[in-house]
Amino acid sequence: MDTTLQDPLLGRLLDGRYRVEARIAVGGMATVYRAVDIRLDRVLALKVMHPALAADASFVERFIREAKSVARLAHPNVVSVFDQGAEGAYVYLAMEYVAGCTLREVLRERGALQPRAALDILEPVLAALGAAHRAGFVHRDMKPENVLIGDDGWVKVADFGLVRAVGTATDTTGSLLGTVSYLAPEQIEHGTADTRSDVYACGVVLYEMLTGTKPHTGENAAQIIYQHLNQDVPPPSAAVPGLSPALDALVAGATARDARARAQDAVVLLSETLEARALLSDAELDAVPPQALAPAASGAEDRTSVLPRAVAEGRGATDRTSRLEMPATVTPSDAPLRPRRNGRTGRAERPGGGPRRRVWASVATLVVVLLVGSGVWYINSGQFTQVPSLLGQPQEAAEKRLDEAGLDVKSVDKAYSDTVDRGSVISSDPAPGDRVRGNESVKLVVSRGPEIVEVPDVAGTSLADARRTLKEAGLAPGMVTREFSEDVGRGEVVRTDPGAGTGRHPDSAVALVVSKGSPVDVPDVSGLSVEDATAALEEEGLKAEVKPGRINSPEVAGDVAEQTPDPGAEAAEGDTVQLTVSKGPRMIEVPDVTGKDVDEAREILQDAGFEVKVDRPFLSFSDTVAGQSVEGGGRAAEGSTVTIRTKGL
């Protein structure tokens, strides 16, 4: 079943500019779509944050930071970011669209690659990361899913959504960013990452390209993490006998568990990679991996899922998720990508198969296609007529053009359109370019202009009624926030954003602000019995809830020791105040201070948690403690007062 049919963004015009055409991939934080920028008439990729996350300001801030970071990386091997924006619940990035496939798909289809192909992919990846590293950024999530191989022979690094400035804190306490199989030991152990962490990930990717499998595997993430921390990445030749020692050394250096032993950044690793390539003979570069080696599995930890390629429509545009289609006789090194000095990648030349042969083969194929096509056109030209292009033309001009082509207008329907001017053609049936018999008719759909929905006035209604009214008006209820209001009753809508009367496109999200009622000052009920505290709160329109368990406190056992919210805080009528009950003060041992100087005795008792009172007999001039109200070794309530007496005459 095609789940994209249920996606509400498909077919919509986002932010008045981007027409969403197809869903490409789904990740943990966002979904990627193929879209058309109607202003510049170009295909691009839209990365749209999941609406549930758009309500979290920290996620939105991180998403926007991605746009600003990647926009600074002007490099031919980095996926470009063009724009960033938001409409209602949808926060998005507009990015370069790469028609082709991911390295993950190549590995899944073909398993291990020849060394030449692996290096041809690794080098432009390192060129892209090197530019990022020297610009002060760390990718932090390098893996085959983020390496795009275009149909035009370009390798690009995508998804800098986890970048951080090198000079800023990169602590990720509480979560491990990146896919487990490619995390450097320091990312796992300390939650920090720098340029050498990207180097480690690239070493793992190189190992996977050379062997068709990941170096560390297990039934769960914990097993893989343990191996990263305690086991070196094995040499690729252990899995694929015959691989050059230079490749083993390259992988070992990039994946050293001690970050200090790795290349400082991707620029240094690229230099080492080029040196390793120079040491390999053509036979070593073109060594064919064992056919029995299974393709790399995606694993449970590969978070991004790529959707199957949709059937091409119209002129046969290829989605980014299309796979590299190669004849069975073509080996992996027939489609590698080698970096040039200007950063672009091209196909590697091999004996007997250079660019000239491929050009002539392409020309021959093109000639055959042209000959067959022209023959079909000639045979059918007397019976059929091609529907002319009518899209965007005024209705009168379109009808005239159909008449000149010998076709009739069957009917004219009207429809709303955000992109086509009022009175101009939105579509035709049959579509432009279709061949029809000369006596057939064409149905036209003409634009009524953009459809605008006016935001209804829902102030003063309940949240449920407001949501129902918005849906009936063709709008989507958006984020709900709450605030105190002296004028609007608790639970009723204070206002909408955008405000009532504002024109919006259908299905646009409308945020709702709901009243918490008049604010109530929380009274201080500490020291009261639970019964008295409950009564005091109810008088203010608040509810009491006793938390399980008791704590030591100076308050009498059974009385309220603490409350949440604190006294004086603002709460809404009907809110709950949590009460913590005291189990009395903690009883602690009293130090023996008899015979000590008064000042020393006071300090000892205060350090133990007691208040101190000094009792000096009449006409006593001694500073030596002769006695204490609680004998040393006895127990008294923490915070209580211990009286010490000096010697009298």
Q: What angle do CA 74, 78, 81 make, to 5 degrees?
A: 70
Query: What type of residue is 423?
Result: G
The alpha-helical segments, DSSP class H, found in 441-493 are: 463-472
Beta carbons of 128 and 156 less than 8 angstroms apart: yes
d(CA 479, CA 458): 15
Side-chain half-sphere exposure of 595, counting CA atoms within 13 A: 3
Q: What are 592's two structure tokens?
A: 């023996």
Query: What type of residue is 52?
Result: A
For strand 137-138 and strand 164-165, is the pairing parallel, antiparallel, or unpaired? antiparallel
Residue closest to 99 by CA, chosen among 315, 381, 274, 286: 315
245-254 vs 195-211: helix crossing angle, rounded to 10: 150
Tell me which of 41, 120, 141, 232 is the catalytic residue. 141
d(CA 467, CA 447): 30
d(CA 396, CA 407): 14
Is residue 141 flagged as an active site residue?
Answer: yes
What b-and-e string marks burial along 440-450, b requiring 16 or more CB atoms within 10 Å of the CB? Answer: eebebbbbeeb
d(CA 125, CA 129): 6
d(CA 346, CA 153): 6
Beta strands in 395-517 (DSSP E): 408-415, 425-429, 435-437, 441-447, 453-454, 476-483, 493-497, 503-504, 509-515
> Which residues participate in catalysis according to the annotation?
141
